[in-house]
């Protein structure tokens, strides 16, 4: 399978992965041949990427750090937990912990696998998919830092619920696509405090998890909010959640900006080491993410186009690429794979499908 921007998907292509709604229903199934009406549906759902199948890439599997089943279950549970808060219930800490523990367990087992995911998520369900992604990315960082299971679980719950306060901000402001007025911006920023208050009052949520909500918009150099904390005054859990939050937001289409490619998001994060983020945390964070995820379509320095098929921890920026088109954009049919880590002349010039 390979990953394409929805703009580049045409009728007749075959969907390689199912598209789920946040409540776990399959919206479009794997194997489905894309017709114009499905394309319209995907556009209406505002999906950024889809994985498609063709004979050149049929054998390429995109390994994930957590199973599809766990991810779908986690998103649907995050939705349930967070939406019940919206209608005034307290956070179902038992459920949040169950989901965070499930993800922590899977991530401990898959440790060593690089993050390849670029979600097929719909815009309406952004917050829930984002919460789960932040939980996954934060937990992986905690594992790299050598956290024990207890800390991983508190970090996981905090990461999963870091934005729960968003549901206490009027939806008209949260979903506004135009520029926010200063008053509206101030209101959105209160989500950190709202989330903290809700979690802090809950005897089943650890205070450290609650601090992920309170401090995930603080920045290492003191430029964040709500309290302009600096450096080690910001709880390390919250600093990790901040990294995961910024990274995941960069790789998604949001109302004011299109998704940036993974390698660019990683470059932005790396550049912010020492200003927004603690360099000691940036390193373990980026170490877990594949800059050119498996399934990405890339242009090589000699203008040939290929799909990333394999990647190793040691040479993350030099993956194995299967050529699918020559320098004149003519499709090639024979199997040509180039291991860029063993070829010093060639490199990735560009990500064709972002
Ligand atoms: Fe936030």
Tell whether the model's pLDDT for residue 255 goes beyond 70.
Answer: no
- From the CA of 165, how far away is ligand 1's center (Å)? 8
- From the CA of 199, how far away is ligand 1's center (Å)? 14
Tell whether the model's pLDDT for residue 61 goes beyond 90.
Answer: no
Once rounded to an integer, what is the mean pLDDT over residues 329-335?
87
- From the CA of 117, how far away is ligand 1's center (Å)? 21
Domains and CATH numbers, the chain: 2-53 (3.90.105.10), 68-287 (1.10.3210.10), 297-351 (no CATH)
Tens digits of residue pLDDT in 167-191: 999 999 988 888 899 999 999 999 9
Q: Are strands 305-310 and 26-28 parallel, antiparallel or unpaired?
A: unpaired
H helices present in the chain, as ranges: 36-44, 68-86, 93-110, 126-144, 149-160, 171-174, 182-189, 191-200, 207-215, 236-250, 262-271, 279-287
Tens digits of residue pLDDT in 71-101: 999 999 999 999 998 888 889 999 999 999 9
- From the CA of 112, how far away is ligand 1's center (Å)? 28
State the Cα–Cα distance between residues 174 and 220, nearest whole angstrom.
Answer: 25
State the Cα–Cα distance between residues 102 and 182, nearest whole angstrom.
Answer: 40
- From the CA of 194, how far away is ligand 1's center (Å)? 11
SS3 state at 192: helix
Question: What are the backbone angles phi and psi of residue 281, rounded to the nearest 5°?
Answer: -95, -30
313, exposed or middle or buried, with CB in 10 Å at 0-12, 13-18, 19+? exposed
Q: What is the pTM of this model?
A: 0.92
- From the CA of 211, how far away is ligand 1's center (Å)? 12
Q: Contact at 8 Å (CB) between 158 and 85?
A: no
- Residue with the bigger pLDDT between 345 and 24: it is 345
Can you give the C-alpha Rg of the chain in angstroms?
Answer: 20
């Amino acid at each position: 399978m390979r990953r394409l921007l929805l703009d580049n998907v045409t009728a007749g292509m075959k969907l390689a992965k199912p598209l789920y709604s946040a409540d776990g229903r399959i919206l479009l199934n794997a194997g489905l041949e894309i017709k114009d009406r499905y394309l319209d549906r995907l556009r209406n759902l505002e999906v950024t990427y889809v994985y498609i199948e063709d004979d050149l890439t049929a054998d390429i599997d995109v390994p994930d750090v957590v199973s599809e089943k766990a991810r779908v279950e986690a998103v649907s549970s995050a939705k349930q937990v967070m939406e019940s808060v919206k209608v005034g219930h307290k956070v179902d800490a038992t459920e949040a912990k169950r989901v965070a523990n499930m993800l922590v367990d899977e991530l401990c087992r898959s440790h060593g696998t690089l993050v390849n995911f670029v979600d097929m998520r719909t815009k309406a369900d952004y917050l829930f998919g984002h919460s789960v992604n932040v939980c996954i990315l934060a937990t992986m960082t905690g594992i790299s830092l050598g956290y024990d299971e207890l800390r991983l679980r508190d970090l996981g719950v905090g990461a999963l619920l870091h934005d729960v306060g968003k549901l206490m901000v009027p939806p008209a402001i949260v979903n506004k696509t135009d520029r926010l007025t200063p008053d509206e911006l101030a209101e959105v920023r209160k989500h950190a405090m709202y989330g903290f208050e809700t979690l802090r009052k809950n005897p089943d949520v650890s205070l450290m998890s609650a601090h992920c909500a309170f401090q995930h918009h603080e920045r290492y150099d003191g430029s964040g909010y709500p309290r302009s904390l600096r450096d080690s005054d910001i709880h390390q859990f919250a600093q990790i959640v901040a990294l995961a939050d910024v990274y995941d937001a960069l790789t998604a289409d949001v109302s004011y900006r299109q998704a940036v490619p993974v390698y660019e998001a990683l470059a932005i994060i790396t550049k912010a080491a020492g200003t927004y983020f603690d360099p000691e945390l940036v390193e373990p964070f980026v170490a877990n993410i594949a800059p050119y995820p498996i399934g990405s379509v890339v242009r090589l320095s000699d203008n040939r186009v290929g799909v990333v098929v394999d990647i190793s921890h040691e040479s993350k920026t030099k993956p194995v690429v299967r050529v699918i088109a020559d320098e004149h954009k003519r499709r090639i049919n024979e199997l040509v794979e180039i291991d860029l880590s063993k070829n010093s002349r060639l490199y990735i010039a560009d990500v064709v499908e972002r």
